């Protein structure tokens, strides 16, 4: 960039900084800025459009257009040239604006006499704030230097908006981080919570976007980048890294050592930005570029870029991850994403968790379920909106988050929580009573678990045992494979804590979205139907045998229940069972105590297993229907896809007919059958499963009371008759009929 343009950019930024330093309301500042930019760039028009909501831009200040159009002219995202700039986050530079695709003429502004148009996005690290526009009568395109200068100014405006420099009346000038915001995400773990935001990574605030001494800023950015590179190289030199981890870090290091990355930041500094603002500008620009790339792998590199930029900003500002701020009362963790080990460190002190990313089967979701913490996933942009200490309410059942809620919303939310708490008090009286229906049928109620911390819930919830103990958590929270003796001690403590209650240990269920950091990942187009669970165990028998040895040693002469996940065919169960029998023989030959009795069961999660040969049902000691996976395969509805996962109903007559087929197959051979998963813990669904003949249900501890309460107040034979009548009527789902019938039942 020529020195002349660099000095002009610095001059413009200094004038801008001086203007912002003057007292006055936000509107006054915006008006002064548009006049200043128009004068400095020798254009006849300068306008600032700001978002008044996520989909609407508003003309908030102008020099050159009709003043009466301010706060009156509005465009939808993508509408007109201004809307295109906002949607794509890329500049538009044209000498003949009316000829451009998507041009929209706004007569109230008086812009018909201006031919040339240059618009650049006002954005801050992926957050779109508005559009900065200059226009002239002459039919010409603006030079690269002029485009660059306007982008630099837009960067400063974004930082000043973050600091609250443009607040005033109207939605477009509302103060940042002060208004109520509703986020609609997905349900990661059910439950409701109220508390205060605790950001997993506090936002780094840039308070000095404009600098007077470019040479000093260049020295600062070069020193900070050098320090960053050393820290990344140190990570690379760790002796504990395996080949895959080293490959990931190598890609990470390429970013840190990119000459283009540093060069662009140096150019921004020469244009007048501080080192911190240069980092923010390059991060925002690179984000905008990568978000437009169709390649999913390249888009995923956004995380690497964001992490490096945040590290660099912490070096420059001295604002580390630990800001010294005290965790607020009733903390609700807000993060882009979080690993299982980090979430476990927070433990039960958290009231809830809200993530921008995540999935219903992710590591964080598994830990949240184990800790009984409400979790909302896919709450997009919440980390850019929330501040530490903000009032927050989350409804995990609906996947909804209220940030800084209004009083009426907060009151309604508290009423719902009070009703839930009151219901739990009623359920406590049923703790020691069986789930015996009026017809005399008893349904076994078990709980799901995955941590030692879950086991105290066994008594308090009223569950009769553990129908599913997820063993993968102990593998997911480590950076290397756990040792056999370590696992044996853990499993023994689980059995001790259960105090004689039955615990069914599910062998390692990894793959899909549960990837071990030390196991070579496989790039699969559909991982949910790929290399996972028992398929991994059979392909890597050393891991499976090690876990089976640990379970046998943990039993130390007690009864042991083992369940193999994701079995699709008879021979897979036979192979897994043969590994177990070999390990039992080996332990006996070594003189180690073996279980007094051992039950070996299967999770039925694929429809194919329901049609296995009779020999399978004779060989397995029990079958547990894995409802979460079975539902997605039965309806071909990806459980990670919010657009379809709630679309289908397990009370659909076709799904119930399939369950009846499984029930009949198990009845032929006297094989015990249970249903495990989210739907087992929903009272209406649990009632229907029990009415069909499933005599054991396994669910999260908080669901035990509601399910037991409903089962105790109904006659299952009557419920079965309602299901049959609904089916005979041609109904697609039995839910309306069951709800109507329940309304007539008297306690």
Tokens of 691: 């009415």
Instruction: Please choose, from the candidates 481, 632, 599, the residue with its C-alpha nearest in 3D space to the C-alpha of residue 547.
Output: 481
CA distance 171 to 173: 5
CA distance 687 to 710: 7
| Longest distance between any two alpha carbons in the chain, whole Å | 95
* Sign (positive or negative) of CA dihedral 254, 257, 262, 264: negative
Residue 594 Cα distances to 469, 499, 584, angstroms = 20, 19, 7
What are the φ/ψ torsions at residue 63 (nearest 5 degrees)?
A: -120, 115
**Coil, strand, or helix at residue 65?**
coil
CA distance 454 to 447: 9
Instruction: Please choose, from the candidates 222, 204, 218, the residue with its C-alpha nearest in 3D space to the C-alpha of residue 273.
Output: 218
CA distance 570 to 608: 10
CA distance 601 to 445: 18
Tokens of 667: 């009845």
| β-strand partners of 504 | 561
- Please tell me the number of Cα atoms within 13 Å of 579 on its side-chain side: 23
Cβ contact 734:722 at 8 Å: yes
Query: In sequence order, what E strands does 591-630 have?
Result: 598-604, 622-626
Query: In sequence order, what E strands does 481-596 have?
Result: 502-506, 560-564
Cβ contact 185:400 at 8 Å: yes
Residue 440, burial from CB neighbour count under 10 angstroms (0-12, 13-18, 19+): exposed
Which secondary structure element, helix H or strand E, spans residue 637, and what is its range?
Answer: none
CA distance 87 to 79: 9
Q: Beta strand 186-189 with 181-184: parallel, antiparallel or unpaired?
A: unpaired
Q: What is the 3-state secondary structure (H, E, C) of 144-196?
A: HHHHHHHHHHHHHHHHHHHCCCCCCCCHHHCCCCCCCEEEECEEEECCEEEEE
Tokens of 178: 């002060």
CA distance 277 to 257: 20
What are the φ/ψ torsions at residue 167 (nearest 5 degrees)?
A: -80, 150
Q: In sequence order, what are the residues at sequence separation of 6 or more whose Cβ sits closer than 8 angstroms to the Cβ of residue 290?
A: 298, 299, 301, 302, 305
Q: b/e string for 80-109 if b means 16 or more Cβ within 10 A?
A: bbbbbbbbebebbbbbebeeeeeeeebeeb
Instruction: Please choose, from the candidates 466, 424, 470, 471, the residue with its C-alpha nearest in 3D space to the C-alpha of residue 446.
Output: 466
**Coil, strand, or helix at residue 520?**
coil
Residue 247 Cα distances to 59, 278, 297, 419, angstroms = 48, 29, 14, 52
Tokens of 247: 């490959």
Tokens of 463: 């569950």
Catalytic residue ranges: 363, 676
For the chain, give the number of residues.
747
**Coil, strand, or helix at residue 333?**
strand
């Amino acid at each position: 960039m020529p020195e002349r343009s660099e000095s002009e950019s610095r001059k413009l930024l200094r004038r801008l900084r001086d203007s912002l330093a003057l007292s006055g309301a936000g509107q006054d500042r915006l008006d002064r800025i548009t006049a200043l930019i128009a004068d400095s760039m020798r254009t006849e028009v300068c306008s600032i459009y700001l978002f008044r909501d996520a989909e609407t831009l508003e003309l908030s200040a102008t020099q050159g257009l009709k003043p009466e159009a301010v706060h009156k002219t509005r465009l939808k995202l993508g509408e007109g040239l201004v809307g295109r700039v906002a949607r794509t986050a890329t500049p538009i530079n044209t000498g003949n604006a009316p000829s451009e695709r998507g041009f929209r003429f706004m007569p109230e502004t008086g812009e018909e006499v201006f031919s040339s148009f240059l618009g650049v996005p006002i954005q801050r690290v992926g957050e779109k704030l508005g559009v900065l526009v200059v226009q002239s009568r002459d039919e010409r395109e603006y030079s690269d230097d002029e485009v660059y200068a306007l982008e630099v100014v837009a960067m400063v405006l974004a930082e000043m908006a973050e600091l609250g420099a443009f607040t005033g009346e109207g939605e477009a000038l509302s103060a940042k981080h002060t208004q109520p915001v509703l986020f609609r995400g997905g349900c990661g773990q059910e439950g409701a919570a109220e508390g205060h935001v605790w950001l997993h990574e506090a936002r780094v605030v840039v308070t000095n976007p404009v600098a007077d001494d470019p040479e000093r800023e260049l020295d600062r950015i070069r020193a900070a980048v050098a320090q960053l590179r050393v820290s990344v190289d140190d990570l690379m030199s760790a002796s504990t890294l395996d080949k895959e981890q080293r490959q990931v870090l190598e890609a990470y290091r390429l970013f840190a050592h990119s000459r283009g990355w540093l060069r662009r930041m140096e150019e921004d500094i020469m244009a007048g930005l501080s080192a911190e603002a240069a980092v923010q500008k390059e991060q925002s620009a690179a984000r905008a570029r990568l978000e437009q790339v169709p390649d999913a792998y390249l888009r995923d590199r956004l995380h690497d870029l964001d992490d490096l930029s945040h590290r660099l900003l912490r070096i420059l500002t001295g604002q580390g991850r630990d800001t010294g701020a005290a965790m607020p009362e009733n903390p609700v963790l807000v993060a882009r994403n979080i690993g299982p080990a980090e979430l476990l460190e927070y433990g039960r002190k958290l009231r809830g968790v809200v993530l921008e990313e995540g999935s219903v089967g992710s590591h964080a979701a598994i830990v949240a379920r184990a800790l009984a913490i409400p979790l909302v996933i896919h709450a997009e942009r919440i980390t850019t909106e929330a501040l530490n200490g903000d009032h927050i309410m989350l409804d995990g059942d609906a996947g909804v988050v209220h940030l800084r809620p209004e009083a009426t919303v907060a009151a309604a939310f508290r009423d719902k929580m009070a009703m839930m708490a009151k219901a739990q008090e009623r359920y406590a009286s049923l703790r020691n009573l069986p789930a015996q229906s009026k017809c005399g049928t008893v349904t076994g109620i078990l709980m799901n678990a995955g941590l030692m911390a879950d086991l105290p819930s066994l008594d308090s919830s009223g569950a009769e045992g553990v129908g599913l103990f997820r063993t993968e958590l102990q593998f997911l929270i480590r950076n290397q494979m756990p040792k056999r003796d370590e696992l044996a001690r853990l499993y023994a403590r689980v059995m001790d804590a259960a105090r004689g209650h039955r615990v069914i240990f599910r062998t390692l269920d990894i793959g899909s979205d549960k990837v071990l950091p030390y196991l070579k990942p496989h790039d699969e187009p559909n991982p949910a139907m790929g290399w996972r669970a028992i398929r991994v165990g059979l392909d890597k028998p050393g891991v499976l045998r090690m876990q089976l040895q640990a379970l046998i040693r943990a039993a130390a002469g007690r009864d042991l229940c083992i369940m193999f996940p994701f079995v699709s065919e008879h021979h897979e169960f036979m192979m897994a069972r043969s590994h177990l029998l070999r390990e039992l023989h080996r332990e006996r030959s070594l003189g180690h105590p073996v279980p007094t009795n051992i039950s070996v069961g299967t999770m039925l999660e694929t429809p194919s297993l329901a049609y296995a040969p009779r020999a399978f049902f004779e060989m397995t000691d029990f079958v547990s229907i894995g409802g979460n996976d079975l539902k997605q395969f039965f309806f071909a509805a990806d459980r990670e896809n919010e657009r379809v996962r709630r679309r289908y109903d397990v009370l659909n007559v076709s799904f119930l007919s399939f369950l009846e087929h499984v029930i009949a197959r198990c009845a032929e051979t006297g094989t015990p059958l249970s249903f495990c998963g989210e739907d087992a813990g929903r009272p209406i669904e649990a009632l229907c499963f029990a009415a069909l003949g499933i005599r054991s249900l396994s669910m999260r501890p908080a669901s035990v009371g509601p399910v037991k309460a409903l089962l105790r107040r109904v006659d299952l034979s009557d419920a079965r008759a309602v299901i049959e009548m609904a089916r005979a009527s041609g109904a697609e789902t039995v839910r309306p009929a069951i709800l109507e019938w329940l309304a007539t039942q008297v306690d």
